[in-house]
Amino acid sequence: MKGEQIPHKMLSQDAFSTWMGIEIIESEIGRVKIGMTIRKEMLNSMNYAHGGVSYTLADTAFGFTSNTHGKYAVSIETSINHIEALEEGDYLVAECIIEKVNNKLGFNIVEVKRGEELVALFKGVVYRTQKQWEE
């Protein structure tokens, strides 16, 4: 399976990301950009987006990008910095770029933006299995 097609297959099998309203904007080997709009049911008790919303968007971009090399890749460590509060109606875009990849590990950075404003920064490490993605 071509690497840039893998995120589309992954999204088609991902009920949670579909519920979140995540859409693929761009997909290529080593880089994926996705987006979503914050809905009312994603707000916390302070009427801001729950931190898990931007984390989920970033983690999804991370997972999609990590798999574009054709092997199943699974998360082994992640972290996020929440920089700005987010509100209902905000449209977020997460872009993930593989910073380094070797035979067994991949190191990725994800920027989450609202327009041009950086609102979260996510870092992750994946373990690259030997299992190949198939059509």
- Overall number of domains in the chain: 1
Please report the pLDDT score of residue 117 as a whole number: 98
User: To the nearest whole percent, how much of the chain has pLDDT over 90?
Assistant: 94
Please report the pLDDT score of residue 135 as a whole number: 81
CATH code assigned at 122: 3.10.129.10
User: To the nearest whole percent, how much of the chain has pLDDT over 70?
Assistant: 100
What tens digit of pLDDT does each residue of 25-63 get? 999 999 999 999 999 999 999 999 999 999 999 999 999
* Mean model confidence pLDDT for the chain: 96
Please report the pLDDT score of residue 82 as a whole number: 98
Please report the pLDDT score of residue 9 as a whole number: 97
Q: Residue 121 to residues 24, 43, 53: CA-CA distances in angstroms? A: 19, 20, 13
* Whether the Cβ atoms of residue 35 and residue 92 lie closer than 8 Å to each other: yes
Half-sphere exposure of 107 (CA within 13 A, CB side): 3
**Across 110-114, average pLDDT:** 98
Please report the pLDDT score of residue 1 as a whole number: 84
Please report the pLDDT score of residue 3 as a whole number: 93
Please report the pLDDT score of residue 48 as a whole number: 98
* Whether the Cβ atoms of residue 83 and residue 120 lie closer than 8 Å to each other: yes
Q: Report pTM.
A: 0.96
Residue 94 pLDDT more than 90? Answer: yes
* Domain region containing 38: 3-132
